[in-house]
Amino acid sequence: MARSKDKKRTKEQKDKIVKVAINLFIKKGYANSSINEIIKKAHINKGTFYHYFSSKEDLINLWAQQITSAMLPSVKKIANNPQLNALNKLKKSFDSIRAFKFKNRKKMMLLGQVMYKEENLKLRYYINNITIDLYKPVFTKIISQGKKEGSFKIDNPEDTAELMFRSASMMGEMLIPILLQKKITLKNITIFMRRFKSYKKILKQILGIEEEKINLFSFDKNMIKKIFQSR
């Protein structure tokens, strides 16, 4: 029982430090926020911070992993379903990730605010790599199945999975700053939808999927509006 209480207290303390740090990163930028400022605002001593985290990078790593890894179990379950072909596994995986992000859109927008600050380029690269490391093995499995089934015209499944995520990171550079703008405008929504459509086409080319075979994922304008309103 004592160990259970200790674990709960540890989680609460770490979560408190992370929350304070993220709010500071949003206001001042990741690079301009010091550990001493985090300690002061969290009302803890230096020893407590270093008991839980070795650095700012360690802290943001934990937060990003908590968010991104939360989607992983449902994607793994889809990837391991013997009743589904690879195309349907891919679509259902994308649908699952999109649904999670939409349900947790306030957290995702907060993460985007930290990642897409101009001074946080290094941090953005770091978090993108965390996501790739977590999800590449699962999608490599799906893509390997698709290659065997003949639905994905590709050479190397692992390289294709990484390229798929690298292109998603690049598209994020074009899409997420639109969502972080102050005003919801028809122009912003139209640009987002146009760029998203372009990304879907690129993704199908990466995977060697025939254009008419399947609609991998979609956003509608009402969904985009709700994402804007979650800021």
38-57: pLDDT as tens digits: 999 999 999 999 999 998 88
CB atoms within 10 A of CB 43: 9
The two structure tokens encoding residue 87: 């195309």
The two structure tokens encoding residue 91: 């679509």
> What's CA 190's distance to the chain center, in Å?
23
The band of 221, judged by pLDDT with boundaries at 50, 70 and 90, is low
- Is 104 found in the same domain as 194? yes
- Is 36 found in the same domain as 76? no
CB atoms within 10 A of CB 84: 17
> What's CA 224's distance to the chain center, in Å?
17
17 phi and psi, to 5 degrees?
-65, -45
H-helix or E-strand spanning residue 229: helix 221-229
58 is a domain residue: no
- CATH number of the domain that residue 41 is part of: 1.10.10.60
Which residues constitute the domain of residue 25?
Answer: 2-53
Count of domains for the chain: 2
- Is 144 found in the same domain as 83? yes
pTM beyond cutoff 0.85: no
Q: Which of 15, 31, 53 is the last residue of a domain?
A: 53
CB atoms within 10 A of CB 101: 16
97 is a domain residue: yes
8 is a domain residue: yes
DSSP 3-state of 157? helix
Query: Among residues of the chain, what percentage have pLDDT more than 90?
Result: 38
pLDDT digits (tens, 9 = 90+) for 97-124: 888 888 887 777 777 877 777 777 777 8
- CATH number of the domain that residue 95 is part of: 1.10.357
- The average pLDDT across 2-9 equals 68
Contact criterion met (CB below 8 Å) for 81 and 91: no
- Is 49 found in the same domain as 93? no
